[in-house]
Amino acid sequence: MASDLRLFLQEFRQTYRTTGAIAPSGKALSRALARFVRPPAGATAPRRILEVGPGTGAVTCALIAELDPRDSLDLVELNDRFAERIRERMANDPAFQPAKARMRLFHQSVDALPDEPRYDVIVSGLPLNNFAVADVRHLLDVMLGRLAIGGVMSFFEYVCIRGMKAVVSGREERERLRGIAATMQQLLDEREIHRDLVWTNLPPAWVHHVRRKA
Ligand SMILES: C[S@@+](CC[C@H](N)C(=O)[O-])C[C@H]1O[C@@H](n2cnc3c(N)ncnc32)[C@H](O)[C@@H]1O
């Protein structure tokens, strides 16, 4: 929607660090992020899903399309304008209505969420490459800590983004990017169960899926 694109551009200019993207995620990226929200064959129990940083709700639509009718979906969004947009969509958007009664919006930072409930799937849109290394570690720990044992967290990063940023950055920024790369690599080495390469997104993106073992 044109108004969502305008809102993204505005927030990209005003809150670059936490918005981290110039436009909402495209359909292919949204579908890849929803891979583990699709109920597994033979699933019997209701599941709890959390989306971190829904923005204008592009990925949320893909998650709703995959939800089992018994599943619930929590959204946690830090930004005032994005939270307002999600509230509007929950009230009026036909795409949100099938899950409306099973959705909750938390207008706060993900690290202020209560410890319970634990989630079966967490889908994160956080722009981790914009944060300090200590914040990236903290936010990843928080999200993994909110997963049930065996639960899956899915998140994305743009292809080659750290390398491209590093080329045009000074020493301090290059060190920060190296720290994030090392943090991510450790997480992926220990826990990654699947990855999707989404060439058709602008820019192309990797979607990582990691499982909490214990
Ligand atoms: C790159 S945008 C992704 C938006 C949407 N998921 C999409 O893909 O179109 C990042 C989103 O994370 C939100 N965000 C950033 N830091 C956050 C935090 N600590 N807690 C919750 N949301 C946060 C931003 O406000 C923004 O909505």
Collapsed DSSP state (helix, strand, coil) of residue 84: helix
Q: What is the model's pLDDT at position 169?
A: 80
Which CATH code fits 2-37+45-211?
3.40.50.150
State if residue 113 touches ligand 1 by the CB under 6 angstroms criterion: no
* DSSP3 helix / strand / coil % (the chain, rounded to 5): 50, 20, 30
CA dist 186 and 195 (Å) reads: 15
Average pLDDT over residues 43-72: 96
pLDDT band of residue 202 (cuts 50, 70, 90) is confident
CA of 42 to the centre of ligand 1 (A): 32
Q: Examine the pLDDT at 8 and tell me if it is beyond 80.
A: yes
State if residue 79 touches ligand 1 by the CB under 6 angstroms criterion: yes
Q: Examine the pLDDT at 77 and tell me if it is beyond 80.
A: yes
Beta-bridged to residue 121, according to DSSP, are 49, 152
Q: Examine the pLDDT at 151 and tell me if it is beyond 80.
A: yes
Average pLDDT over residues 18-24: 93
Q: What is the model's pLDDT at position 116?
A: 92
- Determine if the pTM surpasses 0.85: yes
35 phi, psi to nearest 5 deg? -50, -45
State if residue 126 touches ligand 1 by the CB under 6 angstroms criterion: yes
State if residue 21 touches ligand 1 by the CB under 6 angstroms criterion: yes
Select from 13, 126, 198 the residue to mutate for testing ligand 1; criterion: most ligand atoms less than 8 Å from CB. Answer: 126
Average pLDDT over residues 41-63: 94
Average pLDDT over residues 186-204: 96
Sheet holding 103-106, edge to edge: 103-106, 72-76, 48-52, 119-124, 147-158, 205-211, 192-198
CA of 170 to the centre of ligand 1 (A): 26
Q: What is the model's pLDDT at position 167?
A: 80
pLDDT band of residue 7 (cuts 50, 70, 90) is very high
Q: What is the pLDDT of residues 87-146, one digit of tens each?
A: 999 999 999 999 999 999 999 999 999 999 999 999 999 999 999 999 999 999 999 999
Cα angle: 205, vertex 209, 213; to 5 degrees: 160
pLDDT band of residue 42 (cuts 50, 70, 90) is confident
Least confident of 74-83, 91-100, 129-138, 153-162: 153-162
Q: Report the chain's mean pLDDT, rounded to a whole number.
A: 95
Q: Where are the domains of the chain?
A: 2-37+45-211
Q: What is the model's pLDDT at position 44?
A: 81
As a whole-number percent, the residues of the chain with pLDDT over 70 amount to 100
